[in-house]
Amino acid sequence: MTRLERAKANGAEATDLKDLVNPREFPHVHSDHPLGLALERMGAAKLDVLPVVSRANLNQIVGIVVLSDILSTFGVDRTKWTDTAV
């Protein structure tokens, strides 16, 4: 069980996220990182969104990057995907 799951199970939903997650350990990117790195980190963490954080302050979110936007940038149209293999 992850630290976040334990906090939820123990009724700590009102706890600030910064008190539960070390920003150095949480997957993130900086605004000057390439999209390929964001894609690698999403895959490794099994996430479809990553925070973009300030280099000066890892607790400051300056944006997000979303898997569908990355794929779109590379010319992949997810709306045409199907659940069956061809």
The tokens describing 45, both together, are 């963490």
The 10s digit of each residue's pLDDT in 18-32 is 777 777 788 999 999
What range defines the domain where residue 32 resides?
22-76
- Report yes or no on 58 lying in a domain: yes
Task: Please count the structural domains in the chain.
Answer: 1
* Backbone conformation region of residue 37, classed left if phi is above 0, alpha if psi is from -120 to 50, else beta: alpha
Residue 41 has pLDDT above 80, yes or no: yes
Measured distance CA(40)–CA(64) in Å, rounded:
15
pLDDT value at position 64? 95
- Report yes or no on 53 lying in a domain: yes
The 10s digit of each residue's pLDDT in 43-86 is 999 999 999 999 999 889 999 999 999 998 888 876 776 665 55
- Report yes or no on 83 lying in a domain: no
Please give the model's pTM, rounded to 2 decimal places: 0.69
- Report yes or no on 8 lying in a domain: no
Instruction: Give me the CATH number covering residue 37.
Output: 3.10.580.10
pLDDT value at position 31? 96
